[in-house]
Amino acid sequence: MAEEILEESEEQLGEQLIEMLQNKEYSKLRHTVADMNEADIAAIMDSMKDEDSLKMFRILPKNLAADVFPMLDVDDQKYIILSLSNTEASSIIDNLMADDATDLLEEMPANVVKKILSNASPETRADINHLLQYPDDSAGSIMTVEFVDLREDMTVQDAINRIREIGLDSETVNVCYVLDGKRVLKGTVALRYLLIMPMDALIGKIMNENVISVKTTTDQEDAAQVFQKYDFTVIPVVDNENRMVGIITIDDVVDILEEEATEDIEKMAAILPTDKPYLKMGILETYRKRIPWLLLLMVSATFTGAIIKSYENALASYVVLTAYIPMLMDTGGNAGSQASVSIIRGLSLQEIRFRDIFHVIWKEIRVACLCGVTLAGINFVKLLLIDGIDPVIAMIICGTLVCVVAFAKTIGAILPMVTDRIGFDPAVMASPLITTIVDAISLSVYFALATNILHIAV
């Protein structure tokens, strides 16, 4: 209910801002947005036409514009950058944090990148080039280089003066980092300690020396898990020699978790990952993201057709067997999907590791037996009382059901773990692919039982 009220008020406010733009009430508009949160402004601008969004951006106060810009949709950022004068573009880029400016470059086409770099200050350009050298999806690629650094021989008063000097240009001042002459990370000092400690206390005496950090080459998802484990809001990033090069803040981690979750969901739904919102993607782009997996799954599904064709005699002799093929295949696919999704989640949260594979298999086998027997028992009663099926055929169907659930859950557990072990994303082993594999196994087991028990020549 609260979300609906919030969305409604945001929509109403957006309509009011557009009306102010159309009526050229620019002073009133500027005064209204000055009291708004930058995330709300960005959400409203994303819903505007490009021309209105650009007008709105130009009306924003300089500092607010810099805060709003990284929150805009990529297409809106591209349009605004290309529409701004060199002076306006330079002002925006130089006011962005280095990590936001780097993210902007990675999303933009070459002509936009050229304009951004040509209008950035030498310091900003150096920071951007520094961050671009790190591998994609690494801690180094998402960190920012703006942080408060201190020395051990500083007093608390010196530290506070240092924060006042560079704090506005830093990503956060809540945690300060103590470095030696070679910029090796020695410790951290929280801002609250600086506020309560005597002004003449030495930083080296009050700093926390037990510092948890991540390497520049650490995968961004692993870095996010460090945040989750220790409840951090910021974490230092160091190189191989423990020299501090930047920090990652909690807002970056939220973006990472959303990005990784979206990517996993898309892979599990047999869609190539994309970083664009649904309504921002064109028809052809959406087609290109979906068709590869559909083609692969269509081709792989022909194996099930081949299996059915090879048992034509069995189907011709007992046509009733055909009616229960969809039920067996669907149940197997659903059972496999349940296991694979649970295992993929456990792997992503590091609750499960490859060394646990035998424990996982043993657990899934027991769960599969309970599920299979329950489903088979209920189905057997239904086949006899409602469908009026011959008891022997009902036993074949229910026996197949038990085997299918057992196979499906075991395969659904094993494949993601093996895939993760060899370095691939386990999400690709989710519903679509496992369902195809289980379908083939379901049919093979079904017809093998039928032909042997009913003595049908293949």
CA distance 414 to 418: 6
Q: Determine how many CB atoms are found less than 10 A away from the CB of residue 59.
A: 17
CA distance 290 to 25: 45
The number of CA neighbours under 13 Å toward the Cβ of 22 is 8
* Confidence (pLDDT) at 2: 38
Of 196, 190, 192, 223, the C-alpha closest to 208 is 190
Helix (H) or strand (E) holding 48: none
Of 176, 205, 210, the C-alpha closest to 190 is 176
Fold for domain 278-453? Tetracycline Repressor; domain 2 (1.10.357)
Q: Determine how many CB atoms are found less than 10 A away from the CB of residue 369.
A: 14
Which residue, chain included where needed, has tokens 């020396």?
Answer: 209
CB 380 within 8 A of CB 395: yes
Question: Across the strands, what pairs with 184?
Answer: 243
CB 50 within 8 A of CB 79: yes
299 Cβ contact partners less than 8 Å away, ≥ 6 residues apart: none
Q: Which residues of 373-406 are buried (b: 16+ CB within 10 A; e: fewer)?
A: eebbeebbeebeeeeebeeebbbbbbbbbbbbbb
DSSP state of 211: -
* Confidence (pLDDT) at 4: 44
Tell me the two tokens of residue 280: 């921002």
Global pTM exceeds 0.75: no
Tell me the two tokens of residue 101: 């400016």
Domain ranges, ordered by start, for the chain? 2-137, 149-259, 278-453
CA 333 to chain centre: 25
Of 127, 167, 129, 149, the C-alpha closest to 243 is 149
| Identity of residue 17 | L
Q: Determine how many CB atoms are found less than 10 A away from the CB of residue 232.
A: 17
Strand-by-strand arrangement of the 214-215 sheet? 214-215, 234-238, 244-249
Low-confidence ranges of the chain (pLDDT < 50): 1-6, 8
* Confidence (pLDDT) at 195: 92
Angle at 77 between CA 269 and CA 266, to 5 degrees: 5
Just give the CATH number of 149-259.
3.10.580.10
CA distance 134 to 46: 30
- Integer angstrom CA distances of residue 236 from 28, 184, 185, 248, 250: 42, 11, 9, 6, 12
Q: Determine how many CB atoms are found less than 10 A away from the CB of residue 258.
A: 10
- Integer angstrom CA distances of residue 220 from 45, 131, 252, 254, 427: 29, 14, 10, 11, 17
Listed in sequence order, the DSSP H helices in 198-324 are 203-206, 220-230, 250-268, 283-310, 312-317
Fold for domain 2-137? MgtE N-terminal fold (1.25.60)
Of 259, 190, 189, the C-alpha closest to 224 is 259
Which residue, chain included where needed, has tokens 């499960």?
Answer: 352
Strand-by-strand arrangement of the 149-150 sheet? 149-150, 175-179, 185-190
- Integer angstrom CA distances of residue 219 from 135, 223, 343, 404: 9, 6, 20, 38
CB 398 within 8 A of CB 354: no
